[in-house]
Amino acid sequence: MVFWGIEFAAVTAIAVVLSTATTAAKVWVALLAVIIVATKIAEYFDNVRVRLSEIRYQVQILLTLLPTDGAKVRCTYHCPIHRLFNRTQLAQAFDYVPEGGGGGRRFPIEKGIIGKAYSIKAPRVENFASDEQYRSRMVTEYNYTIAEVMERTADRRSYICYPVVDENHKVLGLLYFDSDQPNTFTMEQTNPRWQAIRDAGEVIRGNILADS
């Protein structure tokens, strides 16, 4: 963003210098400024797309190697999207791996397991024994209304969300996994799934920082 600002300021300065020039010259200078800004915006979004593609590939490898003990596990990645007036949402960067669906959805940071992990900037694990327990705790602990919970599918029993955090404690993204079997995910050091997810999170963190 700093470099973009410098380039735009330089072009603006040229426009000021040419303020006494012909109308045609002014048009060309303005067109040049628009082209530079548009190019930088396109470059930024292309970099984001490439980075998310790399993360998706890493997630696919992780899920392939993850011992599931017969559980049906899926995973994805969420990115914080910062809006005006400090309003932040968590966007699902791509469809669930491996079964698809969900990509592009946005969630408030005040609700749910991913919202809690984002807020406390630490891993969050939850396990539910039944639909009733899931729905009750989503209301009492994770800020969902009863109506919102009734709209959600309660076929998952175990959840883990691992925030990828930089050296300034800024959340860069969140690895998210869920399972149809309770206690698939725990944060016990002897749990191989916890170890694999934690290690994968650190690898993704290193790659993101290296590309920054």
Do 73 and 118 lie in one domain? The reply is: yes
Do 34 and 81 lie in one domain? The reply is: no
Contacts 24+ apart (CB under 8 A), 42-49: 47/211
With CA atoms as reference, report the closest residue to 157 among 113, 192, 199, 203: 113
- Whether the CB-CB separation of 62 and 202 falls below 8 Å is answered with no
The pTM assigned to this predicted structure is: 0.79
Do 38 and 108 lie in one domain? The reply is: no
Looking at the structure of the chain, the number of domains it has is 2
Do 22 and 86 lie in one domain? The reply is: no
What SS3 state is found at 170? coil
Do 87 and 12 lie in one domain? The reply is: no
Look at residue 77 in the predicted model and tell me its pLDDT: 96
Q: How many CB atoms lie within 10 A of CB 151?
A: 8
212, with CB counted inside 10 A (0-12, 13-18, 19+), is exposed
Domain membership flag for residue 113: yes
Do 9 and 90 lie in one domain? The reply is: no
Write out the residue range of the structural domain in which residue 160 sits. Answer: 66-128+155-211
Token pair 């628009």: residue:
34
Distance (Å, rounded) from C-alpha 87 to C-alpha 42? Answer: 24
Look at residue 7 in the predicted model and tell me its pLDDT: 65
Look at residue 42 in the predicted model and tell me its pLDDT: 73
Distance (Å, rounded) from C-alpha 195 to C-alpha 68? Answer: 13
Domain membership flag for residue 47: no
Do 108 and 164 lie in one domain? The reply is: yes
CA 146 vs CA 140, 151, 157, 161: distances in Å = 10, 9, 19, 23
- Per-residue confidence of the chain (212 residues) as pLDDT tens digits? 655 666 666 666 566 656 656 666 666 667 767 777 777 777 777 777 788 889 999 999 999 989 888 899 999 999 999 877 768 999 999 999 998 999 999 999 999 999 999 999 999 999 999 988 999 999 999 999 999 888 887 789 999 999 999 999 999 999 999 999 999 999 998 899 999 999 999 999 988 888 76
Look at residue 22 in the predicted model and tell me its pLDDT: 66
Do 173 and 121 lie in one domain? The reply is: yes
Look at residue 137 in the predicted model and tell me its pLDDT: 93
Distance (Å, rounded) from C-alpha 122 to C-alpha 80? Answer: 15
Domain membership flag for residue 49: no
